[in-house]
């Protein structure tokens, strides 16, 4: 089953709604806590740096969706009091562009061809969700991602991000597969190739997704063959 086939009908609109919710939550965190709290997953960055980075990514994706063409990512964020309204405006523009575009329209992506505009709904939803976690964790703010959305994010990593990392020679496929299990949705996935998994990593779908992005590793239980777990730890499935 392909990555696209794994998605429920109507998921695209849900992705855009998720972007809105996560961006609004990030705006509230920045307004309440300011830009300086350090972000563990992004060494040397504070909350303001993460918000600025995501605002630039949002503008980059918006331009690609509008034109269908690749473009440089060159929207440097402002500093100080201008950052919050700048970020809000970028998120609004991205969601508007994603709402208005035909998801089947040809569009540049960094996925396997043929590229379609709908790719950016999905990709920006998970980009925004992971960075929402970053700033929430940095400030002790509760973080919530719907389990069904998080499970789709795990599928994105296994079907797209991890193979892309391998193709770019940033990591390798592990020959000792492990099972990933979402305790709240019941979904399971096999990470790696080479036979039946002899180890398992389990947690909520959100925890499994964040673990694959190098976050919240303490929220996932590890059982089974130590060599398989070590092999999992030796690869980097996401950038």
Residue 6 has pLDDT above 90, yes or no: no
CB atoms within 10 A of CB 24: 13
CB atoms within 10 A of CB 43: 7
Mean of per-residue pLDDT scores for the chain: 93
Model confidence over 134-157: pLDDT tens digits? 999 999 999 999 999 999 999 999
What are the domain boundaries of the chain? 4-144, 149-233
pLDDT of residue 11: 53
pLDDT of residue 114: 87
Q: What is the DSSP letter of 41?
A: T
pLDDT of residue 1: 29
Helix (H) / strand (E) element for 108: namely none
CATH of domain 149-233: 3.30.1050.10
pLDDT, average across residues 184-191: 96
Q: Which residue from 146, 102, 147 is spatially nearest to 120, judged by alpha carbons?
A: 102
Model confidence over 42-83: pLDDT tens digits? 999 999 999 999 999 999 999 999 999 999 999 999 999 999
Q: What percent of the chain shows pLDDT beyond 90? A: 90
**Residue 5 pLDDT grade (very low, low, confident, very high; cuts 50, 70, 90):** very low
Q: What percent of the chain shows pLDDT beyond 70? A: 95
pLDDT, average across residues 75-97: 97
In CATH, 4-144 is 3.40.50.150: no
């Amino acid at each position: 089953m392909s990555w696209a086939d794994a998605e429920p009908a109507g998921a695209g609109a849900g992705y855009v709604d998720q972007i809105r919710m996560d961006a609004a939550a990030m705006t509230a965190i920045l307004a309440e806590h300011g830009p300086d709290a350090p972000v563990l997953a992004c060494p040397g960055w504070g909350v303001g740096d993460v918000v600025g980075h995501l605002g630039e990514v949002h503008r980059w994706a918006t331009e690609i969706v509008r034109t269908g063409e690749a473009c440089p990512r060159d929207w440097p964020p402002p500093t100080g009091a201008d950052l919050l309204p700048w970020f809000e405006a970028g998120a609004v523009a991205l969601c508007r562009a994603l709402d208005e575009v035909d998801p089947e329209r040809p569009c540049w992506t960094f996925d396997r061809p043929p590229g379609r505009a709908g790719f950016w709904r999905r990709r920006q939803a998970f980009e925004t969700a992971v960075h929402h976690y970053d700033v929430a964790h940095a400030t002790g703010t509760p973080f919530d991602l719907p389990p069904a959305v998080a499970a789709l994010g795990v599928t994105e990593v296994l079907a797209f991000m991890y193979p892309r990392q391998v193709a770019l020679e940033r990591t390798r496929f592990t020959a000792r597969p492990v099972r990933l299990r979402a305790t709240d949705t019941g979904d399971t996935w096999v990470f790696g190739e080479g036979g039946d998994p002899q180890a398992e990593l389990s947690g909520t779908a959100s925890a499994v997704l964040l673990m694959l992005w190098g976050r919240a590793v303490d929220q996932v239980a590890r059982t089974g063959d130590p060599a398989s777990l070590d092999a999992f730890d030796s690869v980097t499935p996401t950038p």
